[in-house]
A and B are shown apart, each in its own frame.
Chain A
């Protein structure tokens, strides 16, 4: 949409502002509304007021979790679509979702006393499943097609195991709805502390990835001819993507579609150049998840609709619309 670099830069700046604004505004929205002025004051001054309690103790950690999860999932999807050279790739493609949820379920069923370690387990599960898929697809280099196929197989296997556990141990899973449905209910400051290190490390690594990702998008052959160690680089990318997505799942459970649609929308806005695509995706993911969670929080009071449900309800039709109007799929 924006062909010139100036337009792309402006677009990224607007998206970044959108991300920040969505955080500030969503913190103010709820059964007890807080004005923007009160929000700003509550963020910086601990005056013991109700606004401070609402904003600082309840809403801010939740909104920050949304923002970080949105950023992590979007970056993860963005990276994976580049690695696989396939616009349909997303964290679930490389088994991140399947592996993380399997370890999550096992933790809840086998040793519920360690439920506090569930996030760490989810990250390990995501990483392990990804490496398994990589190993299965590896034969003198792991080609994207083989990875997507073995990813589907491993994901299906994990899904089957998850269904078995859900059937056999329905009782033990009763108190884990957040993990099952995908939502931010119950996000508190420690949740922010859990995802923040991964988001920070992943985000910093992401700053150094666009140049190589751009080359990889040309295909393995040209990328290697330009001096990129494509196998090693692809391994790094997959590891980073699985950690980013694993950390998100650890905090917010299974949230689908963010990793798939956010990079798509960003690509429509700023094009395929990863130097613009990655920041645009991160900002857009931040805004989208934050807004969807807030919508789910206030739309049916006093109840709540998990953000994952809202995202899928909006995401699926949007994705179908994208498929019908694909203009950026052309290759040159």
Chain B
């Protein structure tokens, strides 16, 4: 197994488990999108990778071995994680924040500079490199954090709702960047997305979660169906095909569940 989760059970304190024996395997070089209702355990799943949460049982597997066999620093050289909420001192220049992504690697000024420049270019921030974070727009700021994760030069990128708070233009921009990372760098991506249409369009594979487990896991065409939308989200919806982008899309009709 390249990367995956093996019978993972996670709970906060003594409460009901959030993840219940979840097993999922990622394919190398693919974008996998996790979708599901609020509180189904999507973010929790991602947080087990950088050890922000400790599972009660089960393992995160990386290249056939438990990920915890690697030191946090070694793991950070292979896997980058970008959480949903982040803050940094507002006076920090973009270049400095992005450069923090080099910290898991040994110091090498020339190489660090080249990697930071490359990450800034990929995220379209070269012109803003010396601006302070407080002067950036929401989309620019999100790109700066993604650039920081790129500086880790990871094989695997975990993104928790990378498009939250962004308008539709920036949402497309961020997801196109993610796709470029897969195409140009061969990066494997696992991301949580709330927008099902964007997930269906940009992901190679869609995993639907409900109540701490995966209930559907296949191509967007196979997963984004009226039956799944009813089972996972409790809504009646029409699913059509977007011929321009070659992917399915859905139109919600009504909520069937009182949640």
A contacts, CB < 8 Å to B: 3-4, 211, 214-215, 217-222, 224-229, 271-273, 328-332
Contacts and interface: CB of A to CB of B under 8 A. Distances in A.
B132 A211 contact: no
Contacts of A227: 71-77, 103-104
Contacts of A229: 72
24 contacts: A3-B130, A214-B100, A217-B89, A220-B52, A221-B47, A221-B50, A221-B52, A221-B83, A224-B50, A224-B72, A225-B81, A226-B104, A226-B152, A227-B74, A227-B75, A227-B103, A227-B104, A272-B91, A273-B96, A328-B89, A329-B90, A332-B88, A332-B92, A332-B136
A331 B89 contact: yes
A218 B87 contact: yes
Contacts of B87: 218-219, 331-332
B88 A211 contact: no
**Contact residues on B (Cβ < 8 Å of other chain), bracket:** 35 or more
Given A3-B93, A272-B91, A332-B136, A225 B50 contact: yes
Interface string B52-86: 10000000000000000001111111001111001
Chain B, interface SS category: mixed
A331 B90 contact: yes
Chain A, interface SS category: loop
Contacts of A273: 92, 96
B92 to A, nearest CB: 6
B86 A218 contact: yes
A260 to B, nearest CB: 18
Given A217-B88, A272-B91, A332-B134, 10 more contacts: A218-B86, A221-B52, A221-B86, A225-B80, A227-B74, A227-B104, A271-B89, A271-B91, A331-B90, A332-B88
Contacts of A329: 90
**7 closest Cβ pairs, A-B complex:** A332-B133, A227-B76, A330-B90, A272-B89, A227-B73, A227-B104, A225-B81
Nearest to A331: B87
B55 to A, nearest CB: 14
Given A215-B100, A225-B82, A272 B72 contact: no
Contacts of A226: 76, 100-101, 103-104, 152
Contacts of A332: 87-90, 92, 132-134, 136, 141
B230 interface: no
Interface string B38-52: 000000000100111
A99 B132 CA distance: 40
Interface string B12-25: 00000000000000
A273 B87 CA distance: 14
B16 to A, nearest CB: 18
Contacts of A330: 90-91, 134
Contacts of B74: 227
Contacts of B52: 220-221, 224-225
A214 B104 CA distance: 13
Nearest to B107: A211
Contacts of B77: 227
A224 to B, nearest CB: 5
Interface string B183-218: 000000000000000000000000000000000000
A218 B90 CA distance: 11
Contacts of B97: 218
A276 to B, nearest CB: 10
